[in-house]
């Protein structure tokens, strides 16, 4: 048996004119019959024009398309992008409600301590214990609705109230707009309430201390409780440390109930509604 000629030898052959047709019958079938017969059938199929590589690719693509189109629509619609995770809600800071006064039995029931008494009324209404001593204050935690609150009665004496308040604000990172300070006011009629979103200390030593300790900031709400001016020529210092009469105490109880409701509105509906509620209230004397 004769060995098949190698492709390199075939390429170097020279042929008489008119004899090339034997080997180059078409671009798709350019090998001699002898050489062509020596190539496996599977390889020869790749050299046959559109039935070669392009044909196989076309068939493969058509087959894949038919496979996809033959799938039920329900299977295709099941492929969904992952749902983005919802953003976590912003952190909810507690409210700090501070009542100002002086510690000790000597000062219980005096005009200068109405801030303490308002916080006590709120603690009783909301079931919040005030037995813990922390941050130089009688301290308690609770909630009104979904609003967390902290109650504080500084035990530093009135003129140093800011020491306690500043520590609580710093530790719990309480926004100043959520720090409500409750204190007595000589310039308001007895039993009258006034709620403001911010302001100065008005000469009140407890408020002065808080403003100083909060680096001069006055941008925190305050609830003032009127105790009236001293009668006649009574000294102011003596007047603010004076006990209430029975009639005055009855009127204060009404004031405290109004104040508790005002604080609830403040925490749940905002300062505008609370201020409208407080600042339009009438005293018991006006109601009778």
> d(Cα 142, Cα 95) in Å, to the nearest integer?
10
Q: Which of 112, 201, 204, 254 is catalytic?
A: 112
Q: Which two tokens stand for residue 41?
A: 């059938």
If one counts every other C-beta atom within 10 angstroms of the C-beta of residue 18, the result is 7
Reported residue count of the chain is 288
In the chain, where the domains are located: 95-279
| Contact (CB, 8 A) for 151 and 192 | no
Contact 142, 127 (CB under 8 A): yes
CATH architecture of the domain formed by 95-279: 3-Layer(aba) Sandwich (3.40)
Active site residue 204: no
Over residues 172-201, the pLDDT tens digits come to 999 999 999 999 999 999 999 999 999 999
Confidence at residue 92, expressed as pLDDT on a 0 to 100 scale: 80
What string of DSSP letters covers 80-105?
-PPPPPPPPPPP-PPEEEEE----SG
259 backbone dihedrals φ, ψ, rounded to 5°: -65, -40
| Closest to 28 (Cα-Cα) out of 11, 7, 41, 45 | 45
Q: What is the pLDDT of residue 71?
A: 53
In the chain, which residues have pLDDT < 70?
1-79, 89-90, 282-288
> How much is the pLDDT for 82?
75
CB atoms within 10 A of CB 21: 9
CB neighbour burial string for 254-281, b if at least 16 within 10 angstroms, e if fewer: ebbebbbebbbbbbeeebeebbebbeeb
Please check whether residue 266 is in contact with residue 149, taking contact to mean a CB–CB distance below 8 angstroms: no
In degrees and rounded to multiples of 5, residue 266 shows phi and psi of -55, -50
Quote the CA–CA distance of 140 and 128 in Å, as a whole number.
Answer: 6
The C-alpha atoms of residue 130 and residue 145 are separated, in whole angstroms, by 19
Tokens 């309480």 belong to which residue?
174
Q: CA nearest 262: which of 225, 223, 220?
A: 223
CA angle 195, 197, 199 (to 5 degrees): 95
Instruction: Please tell me the predicted confidence (pLDDT) of residue 257.
Output: 96
**Residue-level pLDDT at 280:** 86
């Amino acid at each position: 048996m004769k060995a098949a000629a190698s492709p390199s030898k075939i390429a170097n052959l020279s042929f008489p004119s008119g004899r090339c047709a034997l080997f180059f019958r078409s671009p798709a079938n350019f090998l001699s019959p002898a050489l062509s017969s020596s190539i496996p059938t599977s390889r020869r199929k790749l050299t046959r024009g559109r039935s070669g590589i392009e044909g196989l690719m076309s068939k493969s693509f058509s087959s894949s398309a038919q496979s996809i189109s033959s799938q039920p629509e329900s299977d295709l619609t099941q492929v969904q992008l992952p749902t983005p995770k919802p953003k976590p809600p912003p952190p909810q800071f507690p409210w700090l409600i501070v009542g100002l006064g002086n510690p000790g039995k000597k000062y219980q029931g005096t005009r200068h301590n109405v801030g303490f008494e308002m916080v006590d009324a709120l603690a009783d209404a909301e079931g919040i214990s005030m037995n813990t001593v922390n941050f130089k204050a009688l301290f308690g935690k609770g909630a009104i609705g979904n609003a967390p609150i902290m109650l504080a009665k500084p035990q530093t004496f009135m003129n140093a109230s800011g020491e306690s308040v500043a520590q609580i604000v710093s530790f719990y990172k309480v926004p100043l707009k959520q720090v409500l300070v409750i204190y007595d006011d000589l310039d308001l009629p007895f039993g009258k309430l006034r709620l403001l979103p911010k302001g100065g200390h008005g000469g009140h030593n407890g408020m002065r201390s808080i403003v100083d300790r909060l680096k001069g900031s006055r941008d925190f709400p305050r609830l003032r409780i009127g105790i009236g001016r001293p009668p006649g020529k009574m000294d102011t210092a003596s007047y603010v440390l004076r006990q209430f009469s029975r009639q005055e105490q009855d009127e204060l109880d009404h004031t405290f109930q109004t104040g508790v409701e005002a604080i609830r509105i403040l925490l749940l509906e905002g300062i505008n509604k609370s201020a409208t509620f407080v600042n339009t209230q009438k005293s018991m004397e006006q109601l009778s």
